[in-house]
Structure formats: structure tokens, C-alpha cells
Chains A and B, each alone.
Chain A
Amino acid sequence: MTQTAGRTAWYVERFDEFVRSLNGSSSAQLLTQRKEAMDAFVELGFPTARDEEWRYTSLAALLRQDFGVVEKLGEEVLSDVDAWRVPNLQSHVLVFTDGQYQPALSGGASLPEGVRVSNLASLLHEDGEVRDGTSLAPRGKDAFVELNTAFLRDGVHVHVDKGVRVDVPIEVLFIAASPNAAVHPRLSVRVEDGAEATLVERYVSASDHVHLTNSLAEFSLGESAHLDHYRVQDENRAAFHIANLYVREERHSVLRSTCCTLGGRLTRNHVHTHLIGEGVDSTLNGLYLVEGQQHVDNHTLIEHAQPHCQSHEFYKGILADDSTGVFRGQILVHQAAQKTDAYQANRNLLLSDRAEINTKPQLEIYADDVKCSHGATIGQLDEDAIFYLRSRGIGSAAARQVLTRAFAGEVVERIRLEPLRVLLEDSVGKRLEQAIANRA
């Protein structure tokens, strides 16, 4: 039996256990959906290097892990939650430990009328379905999406009513704690016509244990809706992290989404934005900073379905030591999407001879009156710039650090939420200081 098939069987066993543990608390409809998802997962199996989409990301290490049931959380994890909040951010926060909502640790700034923010588990009991007409992730296509539905326990649901502007950022904090915990969180966000919201997702580890996060987020933006979205993953170096994000954007809506990957042993971020109305403005920014044996894979698909939309994609990566990375940026412009303005850039800085990046822009254009540009670069620090700084008295290590920080800074400075920007400037700075010190 192949490793993949063996692991599929393991997950089927875990699923049967899981269903028994639910003990009837899952509604009949939901249970049916879980089972359908599990069947789809078995059908699909885990992706392998033969799948074009997974060519440079091996799941072998993930498949060797016995991810199982979450055990009871230690009290020390729960008492130290503030340390993982974004400092000085006045937010409404939802805290999850090993995927379980912690109402006592959640709350904070109050939200205006017309916004509903809740954990999913409470809703699952009410209407009992996770896949309804508003689901965006395609069925039967992605093994991890199916696993998410099968094993879903909890997550976040946000609904912003028409025209409501939410000034208070909604902060969602996922803390992983137990060894071999597999967490499958779901985020479901609907911003109605003309409404505005800011969402911050953070993923951290409270321990050095191996764990798996397999998240699925679905954002739906109504006409002229605005969503500022930040996703920061800073889990431990043993963690496996799979993140799927599907966005549907109606006419004149504005999305600004930033994805920062600092942690994880293996990270896969898949983003699919679907611009289904005219005049949509969609921005995807990304920063990945990896070292040691870390691997990060960013897959994005921006799908232009209607005319006069613009999309901007700007991903930068810094790879040190033996780390490896993948960037694949697909832009699909349908025939109807005339006057599309799409820009994509992926820039990479390799701090070691052993670090590797595979970058692949992929433009598929079926309309004839469009402006699409893309550029990918891979390079080392500019030796001329290093000499220039040194000739002004700045030491070699400091010069490297200044330049590396500046490279990352181009993404960080685009973060509009100041407390988060400050936090990232700080954590990126510290990370680079270490990476460069290790190198010297």
C-alpha cells in the first residue's frame, strides 16, 4: 500500500472515531455533509508530486504524522493568551485553543449594530449545515477542503449588514497547544453591500509540539463592500499548516488581503479570488520569511470574470538556510473581462546558497483588451548596496540587516492597521536579526 493510501485509511478511522465522539450532537444534515466530504476525500486521496499543483511541495512529512484527537488543554496555555494578541490593537477578539472556542477569553471592544460575529459551533447546532448555497470552495476538488468539512468543529462566522461600517477590527486568534492535534477551523465572512470590515487572523503555537492546522476561509463581498484582511501565521517550526481561502467579489467591492507566513515546518496557502462583478478592486499582498528547514508554498488564483476590474498581487519572500519556497500565481481572465488591469509581482531574496524558490507566474487570458503584467525575481542582497552602506561606517552584518528589512518592509508598510504593522516590523526585524546572525 502506498503511503498516501495508508494515510487515507488512517484518516477514515479517525473520522469514524470523531463521528462517534460527536455522539449525536451534530445535526443529521451536517452529519451527511461530513460523510459526503469524507467520501470525496477518500476518492481524491492526498495530492502527490504528480499533481501539477503540488509538484514542489511534498506532503511526505505530513503523512508520517499521526494526527489525532485533541486532549485536554493545560491551564497554563489559557492563562497566557494575552501574549499572543496584537499589542495595542483595540479589537473584538475570538480566541480558539486547539480549535475550540474560548468564550471566557474572547470579547473586547464592542461591535456596532448590524454586525454579527460568533463562533461557528453555536450556529452549527441551529441550522446544522456547513455547505449551503453560499459555500465558495468547490466540492470534490481538494482533499484538504474535504477534510475540513469532515472534521469541522468550530470556527468563525461574521456577517456585516448592508451599509454598516465596522471600525473595530475583528481579531481571530488560533492557538495550537496539544501534541499531534489536528485542527480544521472554518471562517465564513459575509460583508453586505456597501459595508466595511477589517479581519485579522493569527495562528500561533503554545508549544513546540507537532500539530496540523487545516483552515478553510470563505469571504463574500457584496456590491461596494470593503474588506481589509490580514492573515499572520507564526506557528512553531514543527507545525503543518494548510490554508485555503476563497473570495467572491461583487461589483465595485474592494478587497485588500495580506498573507504573512513566518512559522510552520510546511505551509501551504491557497487563495482563490473570484471577481464576479464589474469594477472590482482586489489586492493580494504576501510576505514569507523562512529559515532552517521550513517550506512555504503560496498558490494564488485571481479569476477575472467581468470587465473593468483591477487586481494587484505583490508577494515577497526571504529564504534563509535550507528553507524552500514555492510561488505560483495564476491569473485567469475570462473572455467577458475586457479592460482588466492585472498586475502581479513576486520577488524573492535568498540569504543562503542552499535556499530554494520555485516561482511561476501563470497568465491565462481569453479577453483581448486587457492590461496584464507580471514579474518574478530571485536574487541575493545587492553587494553594491552593502558596500555603499559599509563605506558610510555601517558594519557588514548591520548593512545586511538594513537591506533585508527594507526588502520585507515593502510589504509590511502596506499594512494599514498600525498596531499590526508595528508588530510585524518588530517580529520580522527580530527574525532577520537572528537569520543574519546565524549566517555570520
Chain B
Amino acid sequence: MLNIENLQASVGDTQILRGINLQVNAGEIHAIMGPNGSGKSTMAQVLAGHEGYDVTGGSASFLGRDLLDMNPEERAREGLFLAFQYPVEIPGVNSTYFLRTGYNEMCKHRGQEELDAMDFLSLVREKLKLVEMDESFLKRSVNEGFSGGEKKRHEVLQMAVLEPRLAVLDETDSGLDIDALRVVANGVNALHSPEKAAIVVTHYQRLLEYIVPDYVHVLYKGRIVRSGGKELALELEEKGYDWVKDEAVGAAV
């Protein structure tokens, strides 16, 4: 589904991604872990097409198409979804309007019929249950005045509405208490299926107790320095990131 080869990216003169290789197949959940500043969020943003980053080398294909050739909205319409680490507050834009506009863009792209306000409301009501959100959220401006947990649930709600093929969750666990974490994880799990895939970017192993990955990769200084099964996450939790760093330094020498 997603094939990343030697992906390099920078902000201004600072190179952040120094050659990422990653293959994600349908049905798989991959966790990307790593210490702060290793390039995890950059990788997520680059996949979604953030124009603040320059892709300086390598390639990425998504469902057979050149991902890097597509603008952010095309990537979304093709089925790539990024759950933001810091969801953006948009005053004056009603949540329902926002969700419906995105949903109908997907419908247009897939050649399906768009939904009117009434039909969409019944669809979104169902999805709200998944993230245990109150209907009153729909009347509010996008993310405005939402608590940290509400913002993350709102991200998962968007994911539930847009039904992406590949979801990239960028530190969706950060700032969540256990209850909120469970709600968010349950939502993500419920949306997972053999046709879909997910990349879970996280600093902590905690989220992976709820969203169990098939593969764990450790990102350090812009490269994946280690890959393994879910037990790698536990190992990292136990030993911290220092041993990975030491190993990476050792390998480089």
C-alpha cells in the first residue's frame, strides 16, 4: 500500500529525514517510535504533504501512485489520513460543515453521490458513538476551545467519517489520560480492517497496549535504526532509547 524508499526531507537548511525506508501493506499496523527530535512528526507531515518541508530525495508511492507528486488534498482523497498531533483551531468554521465538506470531497473523488445536510447528520451521529462524543460538538467551531482529549477524539471522528485506507496517527496519545486514551484507541481499532493500514507515531509504549502493532520501528536522527515486532516496544519501554542511540552511533562508526 505504502512504499517509502530512501526518503529525505529538510526544513530550510536543516535535514531532518535522512533516508527512510518503510513498506506498509494492507491490514498492517506499524508503530514508529523514537526519542524527541528524531523526525517522527516530520515523517507524518511529509506523508500528508505539508509544504513547509522540502523533500530532497527518495520516493514514496501510495496505492501505486507517486505520493510525492500529489498535493495534500489529492493524498487525502486517495485515502491517506493524518491525525494531527496538534489539531488546528478554526474559529467560525462549524464542525459539521467541516466534516461534511471533507466527506463530500471524498464522495466526488470516488464518484459517489454527495450527502445533503440531513443525511450527513445521521451518518455523523453514528460515528460520534464510536468516539463517545456528544452531539453538541458538531455545532461548535472546529477544535475551538476543545480540551486536548476532545481534539484527539475529534481527529478520530474525522477518520471515522472519511474512512481512509491509510491512517497516520501522529502522537495521538500525547496529553491523554487513560480514559481518553482508551476511547481513542478503541475508535482506531474499530476502524481497522484487512483492507486498511495504520502508522502509529508515538513516543511512549503506552498507546501500543491498546493499539497492538504488527511492526515497530525505531526512528533516530532521521533514519529507521531498528525494526521488529511488538516486543520491541516493550524492550524500549524497559531500556529507554539510549541503547538504540548507542547502537546507532556504533553502527555509524
Contact with A along B75-98 (1 / 0, CB 8 A): 111000110100110111100001
CA distance A351 to B49 in the complex (A): 23
Whether B101 is near chain A, meaning CB under 8 Å from some CB there, is yes
- Total interface residues on B, CB under 8 Å, equals 29
A residues less than 8 Å from B73 (CB atoms): 390-391, 393-396
Whether B58 is near chain A, meaning CB under 8 Å from some CB there, is no
B residues less than 8 Å from A46 (CB atoms): none
Minimum CB distance partner of B86 in chain A: A384
Contacting chain A: which of B14-22, B25-33, B102-110, B197-205? Answer: B102-110
Q: Which of A391, A398, A407 contacts B92 (CB 8 A)?
A: A407
Whether B48 is near chain A, meaning CB under 8 Å from some CB there, is yes
How far is the CB of A440 from the nearest CB of chain B, in Å? Answer: 13
B72–A387 CB distance below 8 A: yes
B102–A392 CB distance below 8 A: yes
A406–B92 CB distance below 8 A: yes
A391–B93 CB distance below 8 A: no
Find residues 353-400 in chain A having any chain B CB closer than 8 Å to their own CB. 382-385, 387-396, 398
Whether A426 is near chain B, meaning CB under 8 Å from some CB there, is no
Whether B42 is near chain A, meaning CB under 8 Å from some CB there, is no
CA distance A50 to B92 in the complex (A): 40
Q: Given A393-B77, A393-B109, A403 and B93 touching (CB < 8 A)?
A: yes
**What are 23 A-B contacts defined by CB distance under 8 Å?**
A385-B90, A387-B48, A387-B51, A388-B84, A388-B87, A388-B90, A389-B90, A390-B71, A391-B73, A391-B82, A391-B84, A392-B102, A392-B162, A393-B73, A393-B106, A393-B162, A394-B73, A394-B101, A394-B105, A396-B73, A403-B93, A406-B92, A407-B92
Minimum CB distance partner of B78 in chain A: A393
A residues less than 8 Å from B81 (CB atoms): 391
Minimum CB distance partner of B107 in chain A: A393
Whether A16 is near chain B, meaning CB under 8 Å from some CB there, is no
A residues less than 8 Å from B102 (CB atoms): 389, 392-394
A residues less than 8 Å from B105 (CB atoms): 392-395
Since A390-B72, A395-B105, A406-B90 are in contact, a sample of 14 more A-B pairs with Cβ atoms closer than 8 Å, ordered by chain A residue number, is A383-B52, A385-B88, A387-B50, A389-B90, A391-B48, A391-B49, A391-B84, A392-B105, A393-B76, A393-B109, A394-B73, A394-B105, A395-B73, A406-B93
CA distance A290 to B32 in the complex (A): 48
- Total interface residues on A, CB under 8 Å, equals 22
CA distance A304 to B155 in the complex (A): 47
B residues less than 8 Å from A47 (CB atoms): none
Most buried by B among A387, A391, A398, A406: A391
B88–A384 CB distance below 8 A: yes
Q: Which of A383, A392, A398, A409 contacts B158 (CB 8 A)?
A: A392
CA distance A410 to B72 in the complex (A): 28
CA distance A387 to B73 in the complex (A): 9
Q: Given A388-B84, A393-B77, A410-B91, A402 and B71 touching (CB < 8 A)?
A: no
B93–A388 CB distance below 8 A: no
A residues less than 8 Å from B92 (CB atoms): 405-407, 409-410
How far is the CB of B171 from the nearest CB of chain A, in Å? Answer: 16
How far is the CB of B139 from the nearest CB of chain A, in Å? Answer: 13
CA distance A334 to B49 in the complex (A): 56
CA distance A406 to B94 in the complex (A): 9
CA distance A398 to B141 in the complex (A): 17
Q: Which of B52, B76, B90 contacts A390 (CB 8 A)?
A: B76
How far is the CB of A411 from the nearest CB of chain B, in Å? Answer: 10
Contact with A along B229-240 (1 / 0, CB 8 A): 000000000000
Most buried by A among B72, B75, B93, B105: B72
B91–A391 CB distance below 8 A: no
CA distance A369 to B75 in the complex (A): 57
Contact with B along A129-154 (1 / 0, CB 8 A): 00000000000000000000000000
Minimum CB distance partner of A395 in chain B: B73
A402–B101 CB distance below 8 A: yes
Q: Given A394-B102, A396-B73, A403-B93, A388 and B162 touching (CB < 8 A)?
A: no
Closest 3 interchain pairs by CB? A406-B92, A392-B102, A393-B105
How far is the CB of B45 from the nearest CB of chain A, in Å? Answer: 9
